[in-house]
Chain A
Amino acid sequence: MRIVLSTQLSRTRSVSLLTSFLCFSLCLCNKSFAGNGFFFQKPAKDSVPQKTIAKLKISVRDRNDGGALDSVYVSVGNKKGYTDRNGYIEFDSVKAIYPVSFSKSGYYSDWRTAKPSILLHLSKKEGKSPISTINNGMYERPGEHFSGSATVVSGSELRKISSLSFADALQFYDPSVIVTRDNNYGDNPNITPGIKLKGANHFPASATIEAKPGTINTGVQVNASSNDFIADQIGNPNQPAFFVNGVQVALRSALDIDINRIQKITILKDAAATAVYGVRGGQGVILIETLRPQEGKLRVSYSGQVQVAEADLSSYQIMSAKEKLAFEMDNGFYANAPELYQSRLNQVNKSGQTDWLKLPLRQAIGSKHLLALDGGSENMSYGLDFSYNDVQGAMKGAFRKTTSFGGYMSSRIKNVEFNNHLTYYNINATQSPYGSFDQYTWQNGYWNPYDTVTGKMTKLLEEVNYLGTKKPFYNPAYNGTLSTKDATDYSRIANTTNIDWNMGHGFKINGLLAYSRQAEQINQFLPPGHTEYADYSPANFFKRGNYFQNNSVFTSTEAALRLHYNKKIGLNQIYVSAGGSAIQTGSEAAGISISGFTSDKLTDIAFGSGYDTKRPTTNKVVTRLASGFGNLTYSYDNRYQAEVSGNADASSQFGNNQQVAPHWSAGASWNLHQERFFRTNKVVDLFRLRASIGTTGDYSFLSYLGRTSFNYYTDKQYILAGSTTGTRGIGLGAFLTGFANDSLSAPQTFQQNIGIDAQLLQSRLSIRVDAYRQKTSELILPITSPAYTGFQGFSYYDNLGAIENKGVAFTVNYALIRNTPKSIYWNISVNGLHNENRIAATSNFIDQFNEANNDMEIDQTKPQDRFVVGQSLSGIWAVRSLGIDANTGEELYVKADGSQTSDWNAADKVLIADMTPKWQGTFGTSVIIKNISAGIYFNYQMGAEGYNQTLADKVENASMLYNTDERAAGGRWKQPRDQAAFKPVSLDGLVTSPTYVTSRFVQDNDFVNCSAVSMSYALPQGFAAKIHAQSLRIGLMGNNIFQWQAMKAERGIYYPFQRQYTFSINTTF
């Protein structure tokens, strides 16, 4: 025993040194070991001659509930024995020099110096995060006693769906999690997906932040670090708050975690679950816990994977070179230039057509490696992990490389547990130098990107005489051959220290101290040879090329202290938790833009000729939040539960008169399965009814709205020109740049939730249904002030808007086959969410926003946001169309007043449809036969509508100069009495007869997507043992392999969507 311990200690030491743990953590550990005399040979304190204790009486109790503990192994000297049912044991004539040691399986061992009477409390070992308890990050309650709406997903469940990102997998376990990928950005590995829970409680940032030129917005960081969760929340106000091991992070940082390191994710959805989070809880909370080291012998585990990504171009139906030539010919493009037709045709005949879509794409092969070590004893455990994740994108040169390191140390001294977790991340995110994918979809197939003689990439594809002027066409792929650069690099170091003190008698205290710092640099370089500068006149020759560099630092510090108490008195069980925390974030950024580069090869920022802008773009934002909470949960006989929570948040973001935002919740649940009349029931294993009500808050608004601020004129002072030195400084002039709203308070969301959890048929069937209604009010919106108020260059914000959501979410799992002896399982699952969203109040700023979105300066070929009280946030507003007039070929519209017209007018827009689906969710099935498991998982949306932008951009508004959708050739109006779907062909649709947003292109947007197909095989123990492995598992997975889309429109505009195949191997030695 002794030997094992000391080797572990020395190993721990060397490991600690290696990993440069925080000094104090080491000291504390070492000191505690030495001081407490962990080793049994520690001599007695006093050198009094050996004393003998006549009768040694020992009682052992459980530290948590104070109950007597039987069968505790007690040894003293050569005497040993077990406690009885009362937790009692006694020994006769014991020498006082011997320590008394105690051990019981499931409990931490302990020891005491011998004295006549000993009362000892043993601490229960915490279970390895059993799903049956819900830890909402502040406190832990048994699942049966928790009245809130929460979902816990284990890491292994996540890995069934995705091998890279937990975001894609969450929806399969909770339909409330809505993950959206912007159609423009596709599966770009460097774009963060959008995540929200249930419905949107906020207007998008574009409608809530005054962004007129010249407006000073010091309250949000520009070019913020990706871990700046304050800026992230302002930009994505509907995003839930993410916590990793109890510390808040931005979504991007959460996604940086290797999915193999995730222990579990807890999704908190309603007021009862999130009210204690106060302003951070309004959009829901997602808690991520990473793996903790397991005690025991040193374990080494490795998991590796190789993934192949390729672009999914199935939605692209562009014309081939021949089709395009025929289309051009048919529509008279070559009427005056037959020789151009001939030369293009010759080109195609000679060297074939170019597949432009393939040009910037590749079959990308990425890999991921994770090596983890852990081990230790029950009093001291440690873990180390190294991970390298190279995600390569389907566009050439697009990648995201993550290198991370984690060191974990946990030690227990009696009933105090101390954990320290240090992580380091280094990320290099690079965008493709080939630029935006849509450029390639515009290129005509008859253009050849290569020089016919040298075979090298050419810059100029063709120059044609168009409407009397020479129009050059440049090769976008040429930029990919240059030193074009768009990269973001950052490193983040974070340390979290937890102290848990189990005080006994049901009391527990835990403390948290966390610090993180992320330093980030963006480097964007457009070389002077870039096609962007191709048309620069000789006079502007030295203005070509641009280098943008931005440096940012984000730090966050958090300290928290929580006290817990639980007590069982007869059938009554109560839990009390209270605590407080203080969080500070600091964000700084400075960006410079340099232009005037002479050569593509001189890529350093030093080679530029001068600044683009007079001053660097800089900003600094500091926020502070003090948060206090309390919760009281009561359960009677495990049948009836009631709980109340309260929170008081005070933030530097609030107005002076509103520095505390209170939040509360109340919940109740009824465990019907615990009722006597249900217990005998063979069908129902679990049946719970839950209900909760309460408020949560929000902080996704600009900092400093509660401050009055000034700036100084930096280029003039109020003195006479030529004044002498005596006037220095006295003429400085200051002016207002912000005026405090002293009564600004955080928006509040009033939430109601009811839910049913059921498990039936020996837990073969599980059903979970939640229905909710929530209203966010006091949303912070700018006020459009008349100029005479003096509010110019800055805006006044007030609590004005309100949005309501209601909906229902369900999850059903059914085990079709559950043959335990033969190890054959077959499960199916389906879930769905229905959400209705309604704007309840707006401000005059939103009215102006709507009006501005009707301006013809804005791109009216796309639906523009419009927020009207009583309507949903996601409405599609378009002018009602009666189709193409068979006689004239013009589109006929219905005006707002109901009359017909052929003139499109933005003022005639009405709500046509809603982009939010009636139902969205997932379904899937999995089979396990002995060592083989396989599954297929789909996500779907039903009853959604969308605007077919491809029909607008690539058919009717298309220019004959560029490639178009295949549909551009057919269905066009040619002559009177044609019943056509599309307007007549024109040389440049957008110029001659633009098609602005019309109900004609609003279409069904339902889809079913095969999100994942997976198969894995655990090698038999026998084989694993041969290679000295404890376990060995290999897996194959395909993501987004195929889908069915109701709307035939191009998907992945600037970056395509990807199909991904992963081969993985996991082993533990």
Chain B
Amino acid sequence: MNKSMRVTKLFYTVTALLLLSLTACKKWLDLETPSQVDQDAIFSKEQGFEDVLNGVYLQMGSQNMYGRDMSYGLLSVLGRSYDTTITSAIGKLYFQGAQYNLQDDSVRIIARNIWAESYKSIGNINNLLANMDSHKQLFTGTNYNTIKGEALGLRAFLHFELLRLFAPSPAAAGFTVAAIPYMTKISPYKVVSATTGAVLDSCIADLKVSESLLSESNLKTYRFTIWATRGLLARIYLYKGDKEHALSYARALINSRKFPLADGNSDLMFSKEHLFSLYTSQNNITNLYPTVFNPDLSLGFSPGNQTSLFVAGSGLSSDWRKSFVDPKTGTAIGNTIAPRKFYNNSTSPNNANTATPLIRVTEMYYIAAECAADNNDIVYATDLLDSVRWHRNVKKDLTANLSTDSLNTEIRKEYQKEFLGEGQMFFFYKRKNQPFASLPYTRVPLVAGATYVFEKPE
């Protein structure tokens, strides 16, 4: 009896010990990856969340995104920012791009990279969002709202860019075609593509939340602020054809007076007008510019067309934007075809030109103008365009009582001048579903399968 009691006691002791050691070892087993930074370490401080967002901005500045291909590179070739003779000598990518041969391997590689890098950033954002609520106690002040709003805004921004690249525009195919997957959580498994309409709605929904979280006092537009949110909403509503909302967001931004238009040409990037821009200076951009603006490639905007775009008709040769340099020397002497705004400006030693604009306040003027023109509010539309023109040193007003068509032509010309080499013109033509035959400066015949829709990678 005594013995069996001892056995029982021993058994219980051992069992208890085993159980205890099993529960205690849970912590012992919780090993971090030694050669990487573990998520627990990253998200142990508020700065970690900022670091992940910085990672997204740095990714966006890569050469396949806004460091080149989505701004002054491929998209500007497609958007006809460059009119110079395009031959196979400029390289396969730009030669095929100029022909709108988006199925060509060289274009598909870029498309695949844009797709991969954008979604990589979205994955990082989704992972960040998934970890925010469980770490809410880390955030000080309004930082929780700021970071969450920023993340949601970026998610919408990236998705909308992908939609505009990889899905047909509503003008061409309506809202019900399968477009792209709208990723709201990080998961390795396949999902079905959302329709164009659903993607737009998701973008708007994310942006509305973002708008409610972000503060108007933040003017650090090199990150995604409320100004970017509202500018993007105006842009998306316009793409969607919801001109009423587009107008109201654009007008609110113009009237906010936070982004006064430039009064001088010391900064040709007009950095103070950016609603959202990206620091690309750390992404080796000074070495990337020459891969496009290169005397050997002769990609650029010829002096002849400079005159016809900036001076002829409603323009004036005093337009600050009509400022071009020779890509070889960076000076205004010689073969002046490269936009000066991309070159270090001796009068702006702070390298302001290294912030790549993604949304400009001037686009709001144009969106408002387009919506007003659509409402036959010609006076307001003309006013808006003139406001920009005066601040670009075009000191003459447009003719009053322009027809809607003429007004739209003026708006298009303004887009061309304002966003030269910024990739926006591609989206402009795509949104309008502009017939390929009427694209300006097409020096090579387009391929039979010319399309505005990039081939979607798997």
Contacts and interface: CB of A to CB of B under 8 A. Distances in A.
A737 interface: yes
Contact of A652 (B31, B222, B279, B351): B31
Given A622-B31, A720-B354, A789 B189 contact: yes
Nearest to B119: A788
A512 interface: no
Interface in B47-96: 47-48, 50-52, 54-59
B375 to A, nearest CB: 38
A354 to B, nearest CB: 49
B36 A735 contact: no
Contacts of B279: 718-720
A720 B35 contact: no
B190 interface: yes
Nearest to A624: B29
Interface in A788-803: 788-793, 795-796, 798
Interface string A721-734: 11000000011111
Contacts of B457: 787
Given A626-B29, A787-B457, A733 B55 contact: yes
B22 A650 contact: yes
Q: Which has the most chain B C-beta neighbours within 10 Å: A621, A731, A790?
A: A790
Given A582-B25, A650-B22, A739-B127, A788 B55 contact: no
Interface string A700-725: 00011001111111001111111000
B454 to A, nearest CB: 13
A717 B127 CA distance: 21
B180 interface: yes
Given A712-B51, A734-B52, A789-B186, A721 B25 contact: no
Most buried by A among B7, B10, B18, B32: B18
Contacts of B22: 626, 628, 648, 650, 660
A739 B186 contact: yes
Contact of A787 (B30, B35, B116): B116
A340 interface: no
A347 interface: no
Nearest to A216: B36
Given A580-B18, A652-B30, A734 B48 contact: yes
Contacts of B355: 720
B449 interface: no
Contacts of B124: 735-736, 790
Given A718-B282, A787-B457, A735 B351 contact: no
A1063 interface: no
A703 B115 CA distance: 30
Interface stretch (B37-45, B208-216, B228-236, B297-305): B37-45
Which interface residue of B29, B126, B354 has the most chain A CB atoms within 10 A? B29
A716 B282 contact: yes
A717 B29 contact: no
Given A648-B22, A790-B120, A717 B351 contact: no
Interface string A268-279: 000000000000
Contact of B31 (A623, A713, A792, A793): A623
B188 A783 contact: yes
B16 interface: no
A1014 interface: no
A59 interface: no
Given A736-B124, A789-B123, A713 B21 contact: no
A740 to B, nearest CB: 8
A785 B189 CA distance: 6
B51 A733 contact: yes
Contact of B38 (A505, A620, A709, A720): A709
A734 B37 contact: yes
Interface in B148-199: 180-181, 183, 186-191
A619 interface: yes
Given A735-B59, A787-B116, A718 B54 contact: yes
A650 B279 CA distance: 47
A218 B37 CA distance: 11
A622 B30 contact: no
Most chain B CB neighbours (cut-off 10 Å) among A507, A719, A721, A792: A721
Interface in A544-566: 563, 565
B28 A624 contact: yes
A796 B123 CA distance: 13
Contact of A578 (B14, B126, B127): B14
A445 interface: no
B450 to A, nearest CB: 25
Given A578-B18, A651-B29, A711-B37, A736 B127 contact: yes
Contacts of A507: 10
Interface residues of B, number: 65
B140 interface: no
Given A739-B127, A789-B123, A708 B38 contact: yes
B451 to A, nearest CB: 21
A707 B32 contact: yes
B234 to A, nearest CB: 26
B257 interface: no
B54 A789 contact: no
Contact of B39 (A563, A710, A717): A710
B58 to A, nearest CB: 4
A798 B189 CA distance: 11
B36 A737 contact: yes
A33 B30 CA distance: 43
B245 interface: no
A624 B31 CA distance: 8
B36 A730 contact: no
B122 interface: yes
Contacts of A652: 29-31
Nearest to A796: B188
Nearest to B48: A734
Nearest to B49: A734
Contacts of A792: 116, 119-120, 123
A719 B188 CA distance: 32
A716 B112 CA distance: 23
A559 to B, nearest CB: 11
Contacts of B123: 736, 789-792
B55 A713 contact: yes
B323 to A, nearest CB: 22
Given A716-B282, A736-B127, A711 B34 contact: no
A415 interface: no
Interface string A495-537: 0000000000101000000000000000000000000000000
Given A716-B58, A732-B54, A787 B38 contact: no
A626 B283 contact: no
Nearest to B352: A720
A694 B123 CA distance: 41
B347 interface: no
Nearest to B55: A733
A164 B120 CA distance: 54
A745 interface: no
Closest 6 A/B residue pairs (Cβ): A790-B123, A721-B281, A796-B188, A733-B55, A709-B36, A733-B54
Interface of B: 3, 7, 10, 14, 18, 21-22, 25-26, 28-39, 42, 47-48, 50-52, 54-59, 112, 115-116, 119-124, 126-127, 180-181, 183, 186-191, 222, 279, 281-284, 350-351, 354-355, 457-458
11 contacts: A652-B29, A659-B26, A709-B37, A712-B55, A720-B350, A733-B56, A733-B58, A733-B59, A737-B36, A786-B458, A787-B116
Given A218-B34, A731-B282, A789-B189, 16 more contacts: A578-B14, A582-B21, A626-B29, A648-B22, A652-B29, A704-B31, A708-B38, A708-B39, A709-B36, A713-B58, A718-B279, A722-B281, A735-B124, A736-B124, A791-B123, A798-B188
Interface of A: 216, 218-219, 505, 507, 563, 565, 578, 580, 582, 618-624, 626, 628, 648, 650-652, 659-660, 703-704, 707-713, 716-722, 730-740, 783, 785-793, 795-796, 798
